[in-house]
Structure 1
């Protein structure tokens, strides 16, 4: 993922307290030799959480274990204004995996036309880019989402005065039309 972005990777652990995360750091250092074109840095999870709020643009790609990843991805989602805006992926070594909105399936609002579908669509763009190497198609989805947001469409979670409040279906239809 870092190779397809800005070639910067921040590995997050808590090696000063949790011995198992020292193993994480050691493995990351060992693996970094396979990626000499990617700049590897390390950060303790508590500092990473603070830095994510303080200066999020300093990060390009972050990698960590599941527990810290769940916490940091929820925090990062709020930087976009809503958890409904953040795509996510859990990938294996071959680049295959599961893509989903960072919020999961949100069964409590299923069928109510209130969910923000953008994270799902952006997760599909990530899948095209990272699992299938289809950069053009991924960029088309991302561009369509940007056009719809620039046109003022907003689901309830990101609505603000002066924008057009829409439901799940209308937001999805608007992105499809923008494609």
Structure 2
């Protein structure tokens, strides 16, 4: 499929192609519904139904899949409308299913509510049980060796590994609660520090979380 820089109508241009198969969309949407059943039982599908052919296709498939999950609340929204709704009511949403470009924008937008991308875990899950867990942020070579990186995104990625690959939800919950306790006790790395909290380095934040870890 075209993805290239080329001449268009006699002047320099570029072309990208957005393409999804039914199998791809259905797999992603079903994964979202499966997660929702273990959470707040609510799914929102985000697309550009009004502009993109792929958006109309995505909505069609998502709506059909939703019929197999009558116990889960479902709605579709346009990407721009959802972006605004996410700012206005950040806690109103649970599981969001969308294509790659919109997901990239929206996940960073949602991440801003935590105060730092250093707080966020992520998982890339394959069809056959293979998965990659990592913090949302990059490697941040500009702060390497300074002891100021936030380890929480990495620690919570481990929690996701226990929940989704190891099928050890109790262990995952124990890790998440330890992080919550450390934050509640005021520990902050520089990226989330504010007056009245305790500024600590990377190692100290990790130690504070470990100290509050209780066995499942």
TM-score (norm 2): 0.77
Match of 1:68 among 96, 99, 102: 102
Match of 2:158 among 115, 120, 124: 124
Q: Secondary structure at the match of 1:57?
A: helix
Match of 1:55 among 62, 72, 89: 89
Structure with the greater relative contact order (CA < 8 A, sep ≥ 6): 1 or 2? 1
Structure 2: where are the runs of 5+ without partners?
1-34
Residues 1:87 and 1:34: Cα distance change in structure 2 (over 3 Å):
same
Q: How many residues are matched?
A: 179
Q: Secondary structure at the match of 2:190?
A: coil
Distance 2:132 2:57 in 1: 25
1:80 matched residue in structure 2: 114
2:16 matched residue in structure 1: none
Residues 1:31 and 1:94: Cα distance change in structure 2 (over 3 Å):
farther
Q: Secondary structure at the match of 1:23?
A: helix
Distance 1:128 1:175 in 2: 17
Distance 1:162 1:17 in 2: 48
Structure 1: where are the runs of 5+ without partners?
none
Following TM superposition, by how much is the alpha carbon of 1:94 offset from its aligned partner in structure 2, in angstroms? 5.4
What is the root-mean-square deviation in Å for CA atoms of aligned residues?
1.6
Please say which structure displays the higher CA radius of gyration. 2
Q: What does the per-residue CA deviation read over 1:125-163, in whole Å, with 9 as the maximum and x for residues that have no partner?
A: 122222332110011001100111111100011101111
Deviates more, 1:133-142 or 1:22-31: 22-31
Following TM superposition, by how much is the alpha carbon of 1:93 offset from its aligned partner in structure 2, in angstroms? 4.4
Following TM superposition, by how much is the alpha carbon of 1:108 offset from its aligned partner in structure 2, in angstroms? 2.9
2:53 matched residue in structure 1: 19
Deviates more, 1:130-139 or 1:7-16: 130-139
2:180 matched residue in structure 1: 146
Distance 1:67 1:6 in 2: 25
Match of 2:72 among 38, 49, 52: 38
Distance 2:138 2:72 in 1: 30
